[in-house]
Amino acid sequence: MLKARILFAPLLAVAAFASLAPAQAQETVYPNKPIRMIVPWAPGGATDVIARIIGKRLGEELGQPIVIENKAGAGGNIGTTSFVREVADGYTLLMTTSSTNAINPHLYSKIGYDAQKDFSHVALIGAIPNVLEVPANSQFQTAPQLLDYAKENPGKLNYGSAGVGSSQHLAASQLIQSAGISITHIPYKGSGPAVTDLMGGNIDLMLDTGSLAQVRAGSLRALAVASAKRLNVLPDVPTFEELGLTDMYAAAWYGVATHADAPVQVVERLNQEIAKILQEPAIIEQLENMGVQIGEQLNPEQLDSFVLSEIQRFKGLVELSGAKLE
C-alpha cells in the first residue's frame, strides 16, 4: 500500500497542477478587468464623442467596460502626459489626435511626452476635414466670392480659431498660402467661443472641423471642404481641389493608442477589434454624421509609420503658421 501511495503521489501532483493551469491561464486572458480610455480634451468635443462611440462598442466586444476619463488642458498635453505615466499593461488607452501626437511636438517647447517613442498606435478612426464656413447671413455665397474679395481687400476679413497652433489656425495658414490672400487671425480659447462669434457675425469666417451641426441647422454656411472628396453629410459643398486649390488638404485625425511597451498580443487584439467595429453600418453612420471620413484600416506597424510621417508633415505646417507656445 505504501508503494502504491508513493507511485500515486507524482500523479496527484500532476493532476493538481493541471487543475490549476486553466485558472492561471484564465487570469492572464486580456482583458479581465475594466479598461480606462483617457481623452485629453473636455467632454462634448469631437474627440470625446468619438471616444464614447468607439469605447462603448469596444467594451461590448471585449466583454469589459471602457471607462472614459477626460483630462483636458494645455492643448491636450495634460491628458497625454498623464497617460504615458500609466502602467504599460494595455488597461489604459489614449484617444490620440493630430494635435496631441503630431502638431504639439512642434508647437510647444515642452510637452511631457515623446510623440515618436511613447506610443503603440492601435487604430486610426478617421479624420474630419476642415470646412470653410461663414455666418448664415454672410454676403459670401460661394468660396470663389470670398477668396476674390480677400485678394482685392487684403486684411479686411478675419478668421477665428480655437487658438494659436490649432487645426483651424493651421488650415487657415494653408489657405492663405494656397490662395494667395491676406486675412487676420483672431484666436479664441477653444473652438466653442469662436463658433459662437462666427454665428453672431463677429468674425467673418472659420476653417473648422467640429461645427457641422450648426451648418446642417442653417446657422452657418459651408463654402468648401479641405479633403480629397466631398463629405457625405455635405454633398453639395465642393472640395478646394474642385475649386482649383490642389494643395489645400487640412483635416484633424483621431485614433487610439496604448503604451509603446504594451504586450504585442494586446496591441494586435485591439487593432483587430476596432477594425471590425469600423465596418459596422451603425458605427459608420454615427461617425459620418459628425463629418468623420473613416480611414483605411492599417496594422500597428503601418499606424506607427503613419504617425511618424504626420509628425514630419505638420512640422512644415506649424512653421508656415508661425505658431509657437511655451
**272-292 b/e with 16+ CB inside 10 Å = b?**
ebbeebbeeeebbebbeebbb
- Cα–Cα distance, 231 to 225 (Å, whole number): 8
pLDDT given at position 22? 45
pLDDT given at position 325? 82
Mean pLDDT, range 70-99, rounded to an integer: 95
Q: Look at strands 205-208 and 131-135 and give their pairing.
A: antiparallel
pLDDT of 17 > 80? The answer is no
Closest CA to 272 of 305, 293, 251, 303: 303
pTM, 2 dp: 0.83
Please identify which residue in the block is written with the cell numbers 475649386: 243
Mean pLDDT, range 290-308, rounded to an integer: 93
pLDDT of 20 > 50? The answer is no
Give all domains of the chain, ordered by start, each with its CATH number.
35-128+252-321 (3.40.190.150), 131-243 (3.40.190.10)
pLDDT of 9 > 80? The answer is no
Q: 124 by DSSP, 3-state: which?
A: strand
40 contacts 68 by C-beta, under 8 angstroms: no
pLDDT of 195 > 50? The answer is yes
Closest CA to 254 of 288, 220, 197, 295: 295
pLDDT of 10 > 90? The answer is no
pLDDT tens sequence across 267-280: 999 999 999 999 99
pLDDT given at position 190? 80
- Cα distances from 102 to residues 140, 165, 188, 314, 316, in angstroms, run 33, 11, 21, 6, 11
- Cα–Cα distance, 185 to 188 (Å, whole number): 10
pLDDT of 8 > 50? The answer is no
pLDDT given at position 2? 38
pLDDT given at position 5? 39
What is the share, in percent, of the chain residues with pLDDT greater than 70?
91
pLDDT of 105 > 50? The answer is yes
Phi, psi of 136 (to 5 degrees): -60, -30
pLDDT tens sequence across 25-79: 444 789 999 999 999 988 888 899 999 999 999 999 999 999 999 998 888 999 9
Q: 21 by DSSP, 3-state: which?
A: helix
70 contacts 43 by C-beta, under 8 angstroms: yes
pLDDT given at position 25? 41
CB count within 10 Å of CB 319 equals: 12
pLDDT given at position 226? 96
> To the nearest whole number, what is the mean pLDDT of the chain?
90
